Amino acid sequence: MPELPEVETIARSLREGAQGGVSLLGCHFTSVQVSWERSLATPSIGELEHRIIGRCIVDIGRRGKFIVFSLDRDWLVFHLRMSGDLRVEPLIGDDHLIKPLGPYDRASFTFSEGVRLVFEDTRKFGRIWLVDSVDRMMSNLGPEPLDPVLTPEIFHQRLKSRHRQIKPLLMDQSFLAGLGNIYTDEALYLARVHPLRRSDSLEFPEAELLLSAIRQVLRQGIKSNGTSIDWVYKGGSFQNTLQVYQRTGESCRRCGTLIERIVVGQRGTHFCPVCQVLDPQ
């Protein structure tokens, strides 16, 4: 958490401005402050400051779970991991004093336009990069699930080339970029695929249906501004339509069977034992 829909929502809000907020497009960096050095994966704090001051934000997008700021030179990249968040706030408040950073604010970037971008991360798992090639940095990421280049035929071939349980494989960012626990559970339920099925056991119609289900839940998640189920991410409404995730012991909305929870790949996994049958392989 956050997953693709939440990261897409954050990137969109930074790019377009959310609820009357400020868009960061066209803003110029004037200073950098890093309060927890390990939040910065690369480069050093000194080099970051040297390379980024004076740079302008040209675009803000997403690759997998990464938020990517395209600058007029270089790329500034954030990965929020478990508890990271980005917020934009004015430099000067009503009392005409610069608001101090909070105890969980790990880095801040100020702009000549009178705002700053703050990276907040309670658990300290998130990371920041300034790189000269975002493609090289993310060369190990799998395809984007919403990219039309990923056809059902290609997706089926990729499933067949692995002999892994389907749930951990879909969450493997080198196989498919952006999926996490929530949307994987929801997509597998929608496609009626048991989370323990071996990927190479899926026939083409099943793979085609699964890809369609992945895209459906991701698009619904983006439309709903993501899923808000804890203190980490707020503002989404997809939690109101969850079919299996965190519904252990509740009735399946399709067949009435109680939703079960197991651990797959060290992750809590929710499914309907009737709608998602594990065929013997």
pLDDT of amino acid 93: 60
pLDDT of amino acid 100: 83
d(CA 130, CA 52): 8
CATH 1.10.8.50-classified regions of the chain: 152-271
Contact 178, 64 (CB under 8 A): yes
CATH 3.20.190.10-classified regions of the chain: 4-137
The pair of three-digit structure tokens given for residue 263, joined into one six-digit string: 């651990």
The pair of three-digit structure tokens given for residue 86, joined into one six-digit string: 């980005």
Q: What mean pLDDT is predicted for residues 142-160?
A: 98
Q: What mean pLDDT is predicted for residues 22-38?
A: 96
pLDDT of amino acid 231: 67
Please determine, for residue 96, whether its predicted confidence score (pLDDT) is greater than 70.
Answer: no
pLDDT of amino acid 150: 98
What are the pLDDT digits (tens) for 175-201? 999 999 999 999 999 999 999 999 999
The region of weakest confidence among 42-46, 92-96, 120-124 is 92-96
pLDDT of amino acid 204: 98
Nearest residue to 150 (alpha-carbon basis) of 68, 211, 71, 192 = 211
Architecture of domain 152-271: Orthogonal Bundle (1.10)
Tell the CATH topology of 4-137. Answer: N-terminal domain of MutM-like DNA repair proteins (3.20.190)
pLDDT of amino acid 229: 77
pLDDT of amino acid 191: 98
Q: What mean pLDDT is predicted for residues 93-117?
A: 85
The region of weakest confidence among 43-57, 91-105, 112-126 is 91-105
pLDDT of amino acid 95: 53
Distances, alpha carbon 38 to alpha carbons 76, 81, 107, 124, 182, in Å: 16, 14, 10, 8, 28
The pair of three-digit structure tokens given for residue 231, joined into one six-digit string: 């203190």
Q: Sorting pLDDT into bands at 50, 70 and 90, what band is 94?
A: low
Q: Sorting pLDDT into bands at 50, 70 and 90, what band is 169?
A: very high
Q: What mean pLDDT is predicted for residues 212-236?
A: 90
Contact 25, 60 (CB under 8 A): yes
Q: Sorting pLDDT into bands at 50, 70 and 90, what band is 92?
A: confident
Mean of pLDDT over the chain:
94
pLDDT of amino acid 97: 58
3-class SS at 168?
helix
What are the pLDDT digits (tens) for 108-144? 999 999 999 999 999 999 999 999 999 999 999 999 9
d(CA 217, CA 5): 9
d(CA 154, CA 276): 24
pLDDT of amino acid 26: 97
Please determine, for residue 254, whether its predicted confidence score (pLDDT) is greater than 80.
Answer: yes
Q: Which residues are known to be catalytic?
A: 2-3, 65, 267
Q: What mean pLDDT is predicted for residues 214-240?
A: 90
pLDDT of amino acid 99: 77
